[in-house]
């Protein structure tokens, strides 16, 4: 019997572009083919086409946007990390530093320190929606896990200001030690931590009462604090001692002090600042300031696994949403570094503007 020609719709992968990110979509094309001679061949082709279509429809490219505060440009840089390029910079206010996204990723909060406010922006359009009263010289702040409050470090006044986001009002001030900077909230929303640089102390603040429950002495000049995802540990970097301390949340006491060292780099250059820990608590990553490195720490054994060379004067770090990449802000080389966490290698640096400091990543 003579074969007949039939048309099959075959999925075809296409790549499009958007102002901020790459996009992948699928269309179909018609392919003429000879009608198979047996029912088995017909069934096999049908199965193969079904699998191809399923693969096409479920394959995606992870797209995200990286926001970077430019302290000396008074601007915000927007980076496409997949393409590895700067999209644009926008004016934002005087001396922007801390950044954070709302829990639903709809809003971006930016501390403009010399304006004494925190700006609330639409995360898509970057239109300013509100100016939040933050107290004097806000540099760093933390968002509550349920997204209803901002906690702001007021370094000059030795205070933490509590902002209710819904009402856009400051509702409380908490007196803490001298020069508070590092600040974070535990993922279970039980503890607010404020680190006082001159007092060399972390303050354990009950989020329900806004009262200090306990104080823990730490190594000199604590700069950044962060909880593990299970809220069981608090990691604290010490800029002057060149250490990171791991505190047990139950006892509020140190269980490990990790001395940071880099071969060929003098001790005075090792000034740890930002710290992040992956959600599985396998590794922690520490920005080492003028050492121009990121230390990779095994979060189970507390051993230094690797040290990665990044840009100059690395300040802060942020994971991609899938934790496949890590982004660092490098203050004096005016760029960010992109680190592939599967291979533990720096894959690219992207120039962003003068003195990048804070970083936040939107999926």
**What does the domain layout of the chain look like in residue ranges?**
5-58, 92-217
Question: DSSP assignment, residue 73?
Answer: T
Residue 319 has pLDDT above 50, yes or no: yes
Give the pLDDT score at 63. 81
Q: Residue 230 — φ and ψ, nearest 5°? A: -90, 5
Distance from C-alpha of 24 to C-alpha of 26, rounded to nearest angstrom: 7
Q: Is 26 helix (H, G, I), strand (E, B) or coil?
A: strand
Cβ 221 vs Cβ 238: under 8 Å: yes
Average pLDDT, the chain: 89
Mean pLDDT over 236-250 rounds to 98
Residue with tokens 């054994």: 301
Give the pLDDT score at 3. 43
Residue 269 CB neighbours (<10 A): 14
Residue 268 has pLDDT above 80, yes or no: yes
Give the pLDDT score at 24. 40
Mean pLDDT over 260-272 rounds to 97
Mean pLDDT over 355-362 rounds to 98
* Terminal C-alpha separation, the chain: 56
Q: Quickly name the fold that domain 92-217 has.
A: Methylamine Dehydrogenase; Chain H (2.130.10)
Give the pLDDT score at 44. 54
pLDDT digit string, tens, across residues 47-72: 555 554 444 433 344 589 999 999 99
188-209 as b/e, with b when 16 or more CB fall inside 10 Å?
Answer: eeebbbbbbbebbbbbbbebee
Nearest C-alpha neighbor of 136 from the set 171, 99, 173: 173
Q: What is the Rg, in whole angstroms, of the alpha carbon atoms belonging to the chain?
A: 24
Residue 147 has pLDDT above 90, yes or no: yes
Global pTM value:
0.84
């Amino acid at each position: 019997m003579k074969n007949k020609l039939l048309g099959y719709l075959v999925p075809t992968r296409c790549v499009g572009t958007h102002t901020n990110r790459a996009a992948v979509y699928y269309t179909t094309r018609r392919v003429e083919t000879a009608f198979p001679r047996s029912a088995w061949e017909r069934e096999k082709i049908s199965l193969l086409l079904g699998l191809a279509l399923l693969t096409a429809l479920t394959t995606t490219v992870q797209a995200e946007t990286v926001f970077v505060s430019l302290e000396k440009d008074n601007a915000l840089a927007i980076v496409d990390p997949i393409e590895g390029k700067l999209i644009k910079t926008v004016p934002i206010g005087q001396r922007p530093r801390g950044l954070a996204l709302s829990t639903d990723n709809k809003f971006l909060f930016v501390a403009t320190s010399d304006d004494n406010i925190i700006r609330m922006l639409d995360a898509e359009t970057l239109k300013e929606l509100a100016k939040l009263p933050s107290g004097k010289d806000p540099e760093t702040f933390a968002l509550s896990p349920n997204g209803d409050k901002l906690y702001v470090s007021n370094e000059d006044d030795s205070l933490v200001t509590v902002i209710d986001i819904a009402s856009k009002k400051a509702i409380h001030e908490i007196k803490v030690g001298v020069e508070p900077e590092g600040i974070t909230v535990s993922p279970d929303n039980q503890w607010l931590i404020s680190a006082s640089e001159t007092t060399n102390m972390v303050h354990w603040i009950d989020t329900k009462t806004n009262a200090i429950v306990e104080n823990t002495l730490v190594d000199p000049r604590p700069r950044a604090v962060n909880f593990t995802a299970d809220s069981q540990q608090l990691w604290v970097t010490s800029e002057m001692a060149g250490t990171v301390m791991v505190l047990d949340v139950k006892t509020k006491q140190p269980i490990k002090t990790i001395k940071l060292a880099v071969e060929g780099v003098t001790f005075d250059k090792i000034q740890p600042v930002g710290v992040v820990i992956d959600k599985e608590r396998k590794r922690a990553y520490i920005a080492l300031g003028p050492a121009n490195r990121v230390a990779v720490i095994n979060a189970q054994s507390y051993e230094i696994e690797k040290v990665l060379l990044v840009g100059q004067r690395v300040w802060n770090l942020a994971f991609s949403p899938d934790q496949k990449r890590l982004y660092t802000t490098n203050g004096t080389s005016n760029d960010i570094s992109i680190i592939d966490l599967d291979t533990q290698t720096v894959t690219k640096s992207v120039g962003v503007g003068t003195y990048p400091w804070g970083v936040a990543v939107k999926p």
